[in-house]
Amino acid sequence: MAEVVSPVPGAGRREPGEVGRARGPPVADPGAALSPQGEIIEGCRLPVLRRNQDNEDEWPLAEILSVKDISGRKLFYVHYIDFNKRLDEWVTHERLDLKKIQFPKKEAKTPTKNGLPGSRPGSPEREVKRKVDVVSPATPVPSETAPASVFPQNGSARRAVAAQPGRKRKSNCLGTDEDSQDSSDGIPSAPRMTGSLVSDRSHDDIVTRMKNIECIELGRHRLKPWYFSPYPQELTTLPVLYLCEFCLKYGRSLKCLQRHLTKCDLRHPPGNEIYRKGTISFFEIDGRKNKSYSQNLCLLAKCFLDHKTLYYDTDPFLFYVMTEYDSKGFHIVGYFSKEKESTEDYNVACILTLPPYQRRGYGKLLIEFSYELSKVEGKTGTPEKPLSDLGLLSYRSYWSQTILEILMGLKSESGERPQITINEISEITSIKKEDVISTLQYLNLINYYKGQYILTLSEDIVDGHERAMLKRLLRIDSKCLHFTPKDWSKRGKW
Q: Is 384 a catalytic residue?
A: yes
> What is the rounded distance in angstroms from the CA atom of residue 98 to the CA atom of residue 401?
48
Locate the DSSP E strands across 114-251. Answer: 116-117, 148-153, 197-198, 216-218, 221-223, 241-243, 250-251
Please enumerate in sequence order all residues whose Cβ is within 8 A of that of 236, keeping only pairs 6 or more positions apart, or say none.
Answer: 212, 213
Three-class SS of residue 151? strand
Three-state SS letters, 361-388: CHHHHHHHHHHHHHHHHCCCEEECCCCC
> What is the rounded distance in angstroms from the CA atom of residue 414 to the CA atom of residue 161?
28
Cα angle 92, 73, 98; round to 5? 45
CA–CA distances in Å: residue 317 to residues 194, 196, 309, 347, 430: 10, 7, 15, 11, 21
Catalytic residue among 63, 89, 384, 434: 384
| CA atoms within a 13 Å half-sphere pointing along the CA-CB vector of 214 | 12
User: What type of residue sits at position 37?
Assistant: Q
Q: Which residues pair with 150 in a beta bridge?
A: 455
Burial class from Cβ neighbours inside 10 Å (0-12, 13-18, 19+) for residue 203 reads exposed
- Chain centroid to Cα 276, Å, comes to 26
Phi-psi region of 267 (alpha: psi -120 to 50; beta: other; left: phi over 0): alpha
Closest by Cα among 317, 315, 350 to 335: 350
How many other C-beta atoms are found inside a 10 Å radius of the C-beta of residue 391?
28
User: What type of residue sits at position 166?
Assistant: G
Q: Hey, which residues are catalytic here?
A: 384
